[in-house]
Amino acid sequence: MTVVDALETRLRAAFPDAAALSVEDRTGGGDHFQVVVESGRFAGLSLVEQHRLVYDALAEPLADGTIHELRIRTRAAAPVETGGTA
Protein backbone atom coordinates (compact mmCIF):
# COMPACT_ATOMS: atom_id res chain seq x y z
CA MET A 1 0.00 0.00 0.00
CA THR A 2 1.38 3.40 -0.97
CA VAL A 3 1.44 6.37 1.41
CA VAL A 4 -1.29 8.02 -0.69
CA ASP A 5 -3.45 4.90 -0.33
CA ALA A 6 -2.83 4.74 3.42
CA LEU A 7 -3.78 8.40 3.89
CA GLU A 8 -6.88 7.96 1.75
CA THR A 9 -7.89 4.93 3.82
CA ARG A 10 -7.58 6.95 7.03
CA LEU A 11 -9.63 9.80 5.59
CA ARG A 12 -12.34 7.47 4.26
CA ALA A 13 -12.63 5.92 7.73
CA ALA A 14 -12.99 9.37 9.32
CA PHE A 15 -15.37 10.69 6.63
CA PRO A 16 -17.43 7.69 5.43
CA ASP A 17 -20.05 10.03 3.98
CA ALA A 18 -17.52 11.93 1.85
CA ALA A 19 -19.03 13.05 -1.45
CA ALA A 20 -15.50 13.74 -2.70
CA LEU A 21 -12.13 12.75 -1.28
CA SER A 22 -8.69 12.83 -2.84
CA VAL A 23 -5.07 12.66 -1.75
CA GLU A 24 -2.31 13.97 -4.02
CA ASP A 25 1.44 13.57 -3.57
CA ARG A 26 2.39 17.10 -4.63
CA THR A 27 6.11 16.56 -5.17
CA GLY A 28 6.46 12.84 -5.85
CA GLY A 29 8.66 12.51 -2.76
CA GLY A 30 5.99 10.89 -0.60
CA ASP A 31 5.84 13.49 2.18
CA HIS A 32 4.13 16.60 0.70
CA PHE A 33 0.40 16.11 0.22
CA GLN A 34 -2.77 17.92 -0.73
CA VAL A 35 -6.06 16.48 0.46
CA VAL A 36 -9.56 17.46 -0.62
CA VAL A 37 -12.54 16.34 1.45
CA GLU A 38 -16.20 17.17 0.85
CA SER A 39 -18.33 15.87 3.69
CA GLY A 40 -21.66 16.54 5.35
CA ARG A 41 -19.75 16.30 8.63
CA PHE A 42 -18.42 19.81 7.91
CA ALA A 43 -21.88 21.42 7.81
CA GLY A 44 -22.04 24.38 10.18
CA LEU A 45 -18.34 24.21 11.07
CA SER A 46 -15.79 26.95 10.52
CA LEU A 47 -12.89 26.32 8.16
CA VAL A 48 -10.57 25.92 11.16
CA GLU A 49 -12.90 23.31 12.69
CA GLN A 50 -13.12 21.46 9.36
CA HIS A 51 -9.34 21.38 9.03
CA ARG A 52 -8.97 20.25 12.64
CA LEU A 53 -11.08 17.17 11.84
CA VAL A 54 -8.77 16.35 8.92
CA TYR A 55 -5.69 16.84 11.11
CA ASP A 56 -7.26 14.54 13.71
CA ALA A 57 -7.81 11.85 11.07
CA LEU A 58 -4.17 12.11 10.00
CA ALA A 59 -2.67 12.57 13.47
CA GLU A 60 -0.45 9.48 13.39
CA PRO A 61 1.26 10.11 10.02
CA LEU A 62 1.69 13.77 10.99
CA ALA A 63 3.30 12.80 14.30
CA ASP A 64 5.62 10.14 12.90
CA GLY A 65 6.92 12.35 10.07
CA THR A 66 5.25 10.50 7.20
CA ILE A 67 3.58 13.81 6.32
CA HIS A 68 6.04 16.70 6.20
CA GLU A 69 3.71 19.22 4.54
CA LEU A 70 -0.07 19.10 4.20
CA ARG A 71 -2.43 21.30 2.22
CA ILE A 72 -6.11 20.88 3.01
CA ARG A 73 -9.21 21.87 1.06
CA THR A 74 -12.56 21.14 2.66
CA ARG A 75 -16.18 21.90 1.94
CA ALA A 76 -19.50 20.81 3.35
CA ALA A 77 -21.40 18.41 1.12
CA ALA A 78 -24.86 19.49 0.06
CA PRO A 79 -27.68 17.61 1.81
CA VAL A 80 -28.99 14.68 -0.19
CA GLU A 81 -32.60 15.10 -1.26
CA THR A 82 -34.78 12.02 -1.07
CA GLY A 83 -37.19 13.16 -3.78
CA GLY A 84 -40.20 11.89 -1.83
CA THR A 85 -43.41 13.81 -1.20
CA ALA A 86 -45.01 14.36 2.16
Reported as a pLDDT band with limits 50, 70 and 90, residue 78 is confident
Question: What's the CA gap between 43 and 79, in Å, rounded?
Answer: 9
Question: What's the CA gap between 23 and 29, in Å, rounded?
Answer: 14
pLDDT tens-place string over residues 39-75: 999 999 999 999 999 999 999 999 999 999 999 999 9
The pTM of this model reads 0.88
Q: Are 20 and 36 in contact (CB under 8 A)?
A: yes
pLDDT value, residue 80: 61
Please report, for the chain, the start and end positions of each structural domain, with discontinuous segments joined by +: 3-76
| Domain 3-76 listed as CATH 3.30.300.90 | yes
pLDDT at 86 over 70: no
pLDDT value, residue 85: 58
pLDDT value, residue 81: 60
Reported as a pLDDT band with limits 50, 70 and 90, residue 82 is low
